[in-house]
Structure 1
Amino acid sequence: MSSVALIDAHVHIHNCFKLRQLLDSARENFCRAQPLHPENCLGVLIITDIGPRSWFQELSQNLFTCDASTSCRVGEQWLITRTQESYSLMAQHCQGQKMILLLGRQIVTQEGVEILALITENDFPDHLPLEITVQSILSAQALPVLPWGVGKWIGPRGSYIQRFLDTHYASHIFLGDNSGRPSFWPRPSHFKQAELKGVRILPGTDPLPLENEYRRPGSFGFKLLCSLDQNSPGEDLKRLLLNPSTVIQPYGDLENPLRFLRNQWMLRFK
């Protein structure tokens, strides 16, 4: 397959989004991130489901009406195909570009800390201690990621994460940046603390539950020089990310300050 993978490690499919529009926007964003040779890049969206509802599994069940069905269409331009993994799908545009959809989960711990479990179909309960949640994610052979969020790494929670990064668990996790961080916002000190310990950062868009946010997926993430196996892309990506010699190259821009303020206002008063 492709020699460059562009990965958005934190995507939500909110109820106000339409799948076709999201795929179209992600395709445009991935092509914009690799303008010279877009035909040589493979886009990857890691969809982190929130709560008991699994958007990814509902999609798989609704699109494939019987066990024998291996592909289906979304609109006129997208063909969705099964892989050999239960937590990945292949989306192909009519012009040839391919995109991998991977399943993940977002969990809230007892301490009020958000954590992602990437590339897994397992369920993880909310409101357990962070250490136990990380152990559960690792036992499921998924990737645990502590994602930055507006206002979520300050105060007691921010101090707790700093202390957590000084424990032995730090060598088993990733941190996550996201494009919702406005350009005027200083880079979180947790990132430098983590990097000094060899903890790596996986960027993603983390779109908000606002109608226009379907345009965001694919616009912020990281590049890997690799060719993912189209039959088992999830396992391939996990193997690469767990290899300390794999180079993670971030791409994309932080949020425009005016749009950041507008989005925060809309979230509070919609």
Structure 2
Amino acid sequence: MAIVADTHVHLYKCYDLNLAFSELFRNLDRRAAEAGSVVQSRAVKAAFLAERQDCDFFENLENGRLDGQLGEFKVDRIAGHGCMRITAKDDQLFLFAGRQSSTLERIEVLGLAMSGTVPDGLTAFDTIRRIKDLGGVPVVAWAFGKWLFGRGKVVRRLVDAFKAGEILLGDSSMRPAIWPEPGLMKLARRKGIAVVAGSDPLPFAGEEQMMASCATIFDANLDTLHPLVSARAILAGVGSMPAVSGGRAGVLDVLRRRRGAGAKKT
């Protein structure tokens, strides 16, 4: 089995949820196909939410409050808070709860595969500890300009301080195609710290199409009876570097998306 996953998913009030899930399913299938016929034939689709403090889409989906906005998609609640199965016809996707926190140093840290929240404004080290206390998997996420200068030094200290399996680094579709892979990602890999990738869609209508534009391929078996526990173990125990699938936009497209996010509200 293989898992094809978008590890940095946002849902926003301005989104058409039916379109968002349609794009997730379609683009995850594309990412699996890009990885080859063997992966495509046995891939399980997954999406990891990284919700901001003002968003509660996982809870609202779980409680049925958004069923009327899902179109053809159905929510299959799984025993054990933190994961649900999204189904459409004969296809399915595992959706995991998670949060995004902005640290005191203005670095983005994701808490994947976890319920509960971690407040903004803690130090990066304290944010990671709180995520671990909640059972989540911490991901230090790349964001435009946030790994440079003083903040880059903070990320370097995190990479130096933690071992393989304790944190992940996160790449994003927002990193322009001509932008070389950051040296901190290369350093992390040398230490055995895995780099995962996700779409990180922005908060304005139309960004639904970016879902799973960038994804991660795990050579692992997801226990579909206990998916939350299984996903945590896979993320924290990546034995070999997962593959990244998908393309990145040009600089002008990235700048256009950033302008759109600044001009429109959720």
TM-score normalized by structure 2? 0.90
RMSD of aligned Cα (Å): 2.1
**Cα pair distance change 1:48/1:244, threshold 3 Å:** closer
- Which whole-Å CA distance do the structure 1 matches of 2:145 and 2:194 have between them? 21
Structure 2 counterpart of 1:28: 26
Structure 1 counterpart of 2:15: 17
Identify the match of residue 125 of structure 1 among 119, 125, 128: 119
Structure 2 counterpart of 1:89: 84
Task: Give runs of aligned pairs for residues 22-171 of structure 1, distance below 5 A.
Answer: 22-35=20-33, 36=37, 38=40, 40-63=42-65, 75-94=70-89, 96-168=90-162
**Aligned pairs, number:** 260
| Contact 1:12–1:206 under 8 Å retained in 2 | yes
Question: Once the 2 structures are TM-superposed, how far is the Cα of residue 4 of structure 1 from its aligned partner?
Answer: 2.3
- Which whole-Å CA distance do the structure 2 matches of 1:153 and 1:11 have between them? 20
- Which whole-Å CA distance do the structure 2 matches of 1:128 and 1:169 have between them? 21
Question: Once the 2 structures are TM-superposed, how far is the Cα of residue 173 of structure 1 from its aligned partner?
Answer: 0.8
Encode CA deviations 1:195-229: one digit per residue, 9 max, x unaligned.
12211111100001121110111221111233322
Amino acid at match of 2:224: Q
| Contact 1:153–1:161 under 8 Å retained in 2 | yes
Structure 2 counterpart of 1:68: none
Question: Once the 2 structures are TM-superposed, how far is the Cα of residue 132 of structure 1 from its aligned partner?
Answer: 1.6
| Contact 2:103–2:120 under 8 Å retained in 1 | yes
Question: Once the 2 structures are TM-superposed, how far is the Cα of residue 152 of structure 1 from its aligned partner?
Answer: 1.0
Answering whether residue 266 of structure 2 is matched by residue 265 of structure 1, we say no
SS state at 2:11 partner: coil
Amino acid at match of 1:53: C
| Contact 2:101–2:118 under 8 Å retained in 1 | yes
TM-score normalized by structure 1? 0.88
Task: Give identity over the alignment, percent.
Answer: 25
| Contact 2:100–2:111 under 8 Å retained in 1 | yes
SS state at 1:161 partner: helix
Question: Once the 2 structures are TM-superposed, how far is the Cα of residue 40 of structure 1 from its aligned partner?
Answer: 3.4
Amino acid at match of 2:160: D
- Which whole-Å CA distance do the structure 1 matches of 2:193 and 2:3 have between them? 21
Greater CA drift, 34-43 or 233-242: 34-43
Encode CA deviations 1:142-163: one digit per residue, 9 max, x unaligned.
1011000011111211122113
Question: Once the 2 structures are TM-superposed, how far is the Cα of residue 110 of structure 1 from its aligned partner?
Answer: 1.6
In the alignment, structure 1 segments of 5+ residues that lack a partner are: 65-71
Encode CA deviations 1:20-62: one digit per residue, 9 max, x unaligned.
1111111111121233475632211111110143221122123
In the alignment, structure 2 segments of 5+ residues that lack a partner are: none
